[in-house]
Amino acid sequence: MNKSKNTYYFKKMNLRTKTLLIISLTALILIAIVINSFFIEASSLTTNFPMRNMPPSFEHIFGTDWMGRDMFTRTLKGLGLSIQVGAFASIVSTIIAVILTFVSRLNKYLDSFVNWLIDLFASIPHLLVIILVSISLGGGLFGVIIAVGVSHWTSLTRVLRAEIKQINTFEYIALSKSFGKSNLWITGKHFLPLVLTQIILGTILIFPHAIMHEASVTFLGFGLSPHEPAIGIILSESMKYLATGAWWLAFFPGLSLLLIILIFDLIGDNLRKLLDPTKAHE
């Protein structure tokens, strides 16, 4: 009865309320994962060889690995690390995209240079850029964040450049220039408020790509050190034991990573409905 009543109330909500509710719930899940990962102590990840390669049970819902460590704890810690990398990397990408976008509007030569730079980075596989930049920065968490950040700005820059070029044709931009307003003033007062929605959405949508590429590069053995409980490292180590029937070592971390990526996509889609008036009817 309560379930049907809750379903009825959800259906009666307007689109804006539903969207806010979905964003809030999904954001709470991500925040809870990150906060819980901070409170996982090193003692929780210590080896316990008598319990090694135990299948999922009520005591260990994700099972244990070849060193007797609880896979649920390792997966939660790895997801928290992946979300942190995705957050910082998407912010780095957004900063690069915004700077290059507003530099490109200063004159046609800079615009051509930015366009060439976009084509150059877009033509190089992301994984190759991440590996090269990460190794050149000495690896580690900082190296991976910067490497993922400098390889994911191209799509957002393209979108922002297109928006800026359209806004530049508006009459009030020409009026501001005729009144002697500086480029910095015009950028802050006219351009930035109009592209702020695209910047926010772009940052959110970079998240899942950043997380996937962080997991991919750590799976290949680059970037983070092997003792870090990253999802990519967990999946890489589990490959050695799948032939022995220890399916849970890869299944649960992989499924958890997929769900996190889907959650970010869900947040991005609903934010687009909330912030973009043209999508509000969908």
Q: Which CATH number fits domain 15-35+70-279: 1.20.1440.230, 1.10.3720.10, 3.20.10.10, 2.40.10.10?
A: 1.10.3720.10
Amino acid at 193: P
In the three-class reduction of DSSP (H, G, I as helix; E, B as strand; rest coil), residue 201 is classed as: helix
Residues 58/70, Cβ–Cβ less than 8 Å: no
Per residue of the chain (282 residues), give pLDDT as tens.
Answer: 455 555 555 555 666 677 778 778 888 888 888 888 888 776 667 777 788 878 888 888 888 888 888 888 888 888 888 888 888 989 999 999 999 988 888 778 888 898 899 888 888 888 888 888 888 887 788 888 888 888 888 888 898 888 888 877 777 777 777 777 777 777 777 777 888 888 888 888 888 888 888 888 888 877 677 777 788 888 888 888 887 788 888 888 889 888 888 888 888 777 777 766 555 554
Please choose, from the candidates 204, 153, 193, 141, the residue with its C-alpha nearest in 3D space to the C-alpha of residue 170. 193
For position 96, what pLDDT does the model report? Answer: 92
Q: Facing residues of 70 across strands?
A: 64
pTM exceeding 0.95: no
Report which DSSP code applies to 70. Answer: B
